Each structure stands twice: as structure tokens, then as C-alpha cells.
């Protein structure tokens, strides 16, 4: 049994003349500890797939299992609990609370789950413990993204789901964030899924999934790099 199993998943919005099939009979499996890049252009279906994987939306047909549990059948309350207890989210625009310090932003996430990790330890992991009392407006874009990663990790999630995590960053800062995600996966055996339109990120994947017009057009594997600096950015 794989960690994540997506089988014949379709997602349809609207009906009749307005019907849109955002996902069309999609199937793939993901193992624990993989770094998965889901790559596709705008409108390809990757955001819909992200929403289903993260429990933010349900599928129209098919099966979505994580750790053997059929997530695809969950109702809205069950999906809410699934998101809270299993998924760490990292977004393009950070979504930090501007009136809270870096540490307080992480602590808010920790307060939502039963067995959180240490908030200060997570800031230490992303090399920001020294900035724990700074507010988001006092941090650079890269530092804010690191806080958002710490906020996701403090929940001790089964899955770290990253939506265009470098999209709002310059290339140098973006590279540092990808390296951090890579190191977290390697050190903690955390499953990381990066959803992006940026094809330059394909080389960091141990598992590359390309999506177009709601269909999987590539599903390939490559070895995890021993030295992250060997990756061609």
C-alpha cells in the first residue's frame, strides 16, 4: 500500500452547458518521503488537484486514499479535521498574520493540533530563531516564507503541500527555499508536494507529475540528490 493513492479521480464543476471537467480520470501513487513536483500551466488542473490532496475540496468520482484511509468519501467536517491534523500548507504569499510575531504565527498553528512540535524548534530548523520576535513586516520575503514553513511543520503533518512556494520570491531566495524543503524531506522523511507552473523546479523532484487539460501526461521518477547544490536551477 502506497502512502497516497489517487485512482480514477475526476472533478467536475457546473452541469450541462456550463460543465467543466477540471480533472479527468487521474491516477497516481506517492510513497512516503518523496519530493513530488506537480507541474502544469494555468488551467491545467493542478490547483484542483492541490485542493483535493489538501482536503480543501472533494472529488466528483474516483478514490483518494492517504495511509489507507478513504479521504475521497469524507464530508465537510471530516475534511476539516483531515486538513488540521494531516496537512501542512505553504502558500505563495505566506498568509502570515501581520499583527503577530514570527513565533506567535507558528504558535497559532501549534494550538490547532493535539501533539504539535516545539514552535521555537521549528523556527530554529528554518534558521529564524533569532528573528522570533520580529513581525512579518520586518522580515524579507524569504524570511516570511521560512516562517510559513515553520508554521506548517509545527503541526507535524503527514504531508507538506506547497502551492507555488517560490512564486513571490527572486531566484536566489527561491532557491534557498527549495533547498530547505529538500533538506526537510531528506532529514525528516517528510512527503513534500510542490505544485507549480515553473518548469525549472522539475529537476528537484524525486517524482515528477505533469498535468495538462485535467489529465496526467507524465509520471516519472528520479533519484534524490545527495548534494542539493548539484541540482540545476
Question: How deeply is 114 buried, as exposed, middle or buried, from its count of CB atoms within 10 A (0-12, 13-18, 19+)?
Answer: exposed
* Mean pLDDT, all residues of the chain: 93
CATH of the domain at 93: 3.40.50.300
The SS3 of residue 6 is: strand
CB 106 within 8 A of CB 97: no
**What was the pLDDT predicted at 168?**
85
pLDDT in tens, 199-209: 888 888 999 99
What is the maximum alpha-carbon separation in the chain? Answer: 56
| Statement: residue 225 has pLDDT above 90 | no
Domain hosting 197: range is 33-60+75-230
Asked if residue 116 is part of any domain, the answer here is yes
* Sequence-separated (6 or more) residues with CB below 8 Å from residue 43: none
**What was the pLDDT predicted at 222?**
87
Give the mean model confidence (pLDDT) for residues 18-27: 95
C-alpha cell at 48: 484542483
Asked if residue 12 is part of any domain, the answer here is no
Asked if residue 50 is part of any domain, the answer here is yes
Give the mean model confidence (pLDDT) for residues 107-134: 95
Asked if residue 212 is part of any domain, the answer here is yes
Asked if residue 17 is part of any domain, the answer here is no
Asked if residue 22 is part of any domain, the answer here is no
**What was the pLDDT predicted at 44?**
95
- At 232, the pLDDT band (50, 70, 90 cuts) reads low
- Predicted TM-score of the model (pTM): 0.93
CB 201 within 8 A of CB 171: no
DSSP state of 164: S
**What was the pLDDT predicted at 233?**
57
Asked if residue 27 is part of any domain, the answer here is no
- At 41, the pLDDT band (50, 70, 90 cuts) reads very high
**What was the pLDDT predicted at 224?**
72
- At 90, the pLDDT band (50, 70, 90 cuts) reads very high
Q: Which of 223, 59, 218, 71 is nearest to 159 (CA)?
A: 71
CB 180 within 8 A of CB 149: yes
How many structural domains comprise the chain? 1
Asked if residue 67 is part of any domain, the answer here is no
CB 158 within 8 A of CB 30: no
State the CB neighbour count (10 A cutoff) for residue 102.
29
Question: How deeply is 228 buried, as exposed, middle or buried, from its count of CB atoms within 10 A (0-12, 13-18, 19+)?
Answer: middle
- At 179, the pLDDT band (50, 70, 90 cuts) reads confident
**What was the pLDDT predicted at 171?**
82
User: Of 22-26, 83-87, 121-125, 182-186, which gets the smallest average pLDDT?
Assistant: 182-186
The residue count for the chain: 233
Please give the residue that has the higher pLDDT: either 48 or 16: 48
Amino acid at each position: 500500500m502506497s502512502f497516497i493513492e489517487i485512482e480514477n479521480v475526476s472533478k467536475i464543476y457546473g452541469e450541462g452547458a456550463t460543465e467543466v471537467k477540471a480533472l479527468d480520470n487521474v491516477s497516481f501513487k506517492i510513497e512516503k518521503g518523496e519530493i513530488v513536483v506537480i507541474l502544469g500551466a494555468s488551467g491545467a488542473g493542478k490547483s484542483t488537484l492541490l485542493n483535493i490532496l489538501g482536503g480543501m475540496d472533494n472529488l466528483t468520482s474516483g478514490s483518494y486514499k492517504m495511509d489507507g484511509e478513504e479521504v475521497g468519501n469524507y464530508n465537510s467536517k471530516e475534511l476539516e479535521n483531515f486538513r488540521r491534523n494531516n496537512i501542512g500548507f505553504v502558500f505563495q504569499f505566506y498568509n502570515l498574520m501581520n499583527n503577530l510575531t514570527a513565533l506567535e504565527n507558528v504558535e497559532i498553528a501549534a494550538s490547532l493540533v493535539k501533539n504539535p512540535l516545539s514552535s521555537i524548534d521549528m523556527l530554529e530548523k528554518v534558521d529564524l530563531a533569532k528573528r522570533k520576535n520580529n513581525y512579518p513586516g520586518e522580515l524579507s520575503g524569504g524570511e516570511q516564507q521560512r516562517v510559513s514553513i515553520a508554521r506548517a511543520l509545527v503541526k507535524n503533518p503527514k504531508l507538506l503541500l506547497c502551492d507555488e512556494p517560490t512564486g513571490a520570491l527572486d531566484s536566489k531566495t527561491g532557491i534557498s527555499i527549495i533547498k530547505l524543503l529538500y533538506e526537510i524531506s531528506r532529514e525528516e522523511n517528510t512527503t513534500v508536494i510542490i505544485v507549480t507552473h515553473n518548469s525549472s523546479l522539475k529537476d528537484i523532484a524525486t517524482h515528477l507529475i505533469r498535468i495538462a487539460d485535467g489529465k496526467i501526461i507524465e509520471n516519472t521518477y528520479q533519484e534524490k540528490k545527495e548534494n542539493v547544490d548539484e541540482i540545476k536551477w
